[in-house]
């Protein structure tokens, strides 16, 4: 594992120390690793949302769509098909 040294203002260091002392994390490194993981996940989700926003709109999911979907599921259940 690589090492990284960071400098924090006193208020931020106190905040991190409080998070560790409350027992949520064993060390300040664990706390910072968790923050980085969360930020990576946030960015991944943002990229997925942006990609979705850039695609053309799909079919309208109105009551007729859901009725059709229910009917297809019902028919598969009757026939025992899993495809």
Q: For 23-59, write each residue's pLDDT tens digit.
A: 989 999 999 999 999 999 999 999 999 999 999 998 8
Q: Determine contact, residues 75/83, Cβ cutoff 8 Å.
A: no
As a whole number of angstroms, the distance between CA 15 and CA 79 comes to: 60
**DSSP for 63-82?**
HHHHHHHHHHHHHHHHHT--
Query: pLDDT-derived band of residue 80, with 50, 70 and 90 as boundaries?
Result: confident
Q: Please name which of 52, 53, 70 lies closest in space to residue 61, comparing C-alpha atoms.
A: 70
Query: pLDDT-derived band of residue 81, with 50, 70 and 90 as boundaries?
Result: low
Query: What is the mean predicted confidence (pLDDT) over 54-76?
Result: 92
As a whole number of angstroms, the distance between CA 83 and CA 81 comes to: 6
């Amino acid at each position: 594992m690589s090492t990284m040294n960071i400098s924090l203002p006193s208020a931020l260091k106190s905040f991190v120390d409080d998070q560790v002392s409350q027992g949520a994390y064993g060390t300040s490194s664990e706390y910072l690793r968790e923050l980085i993981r969360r930020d990576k996940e946030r960015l991944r989700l943002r990229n997925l949302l942006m990609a979705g926003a850039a695609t053309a709109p799909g079919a309208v999911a109105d009551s007729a769509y859901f009725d059709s979907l229910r009917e297809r599921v019902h028919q598969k259940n009757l026939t025992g098909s899993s495809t």
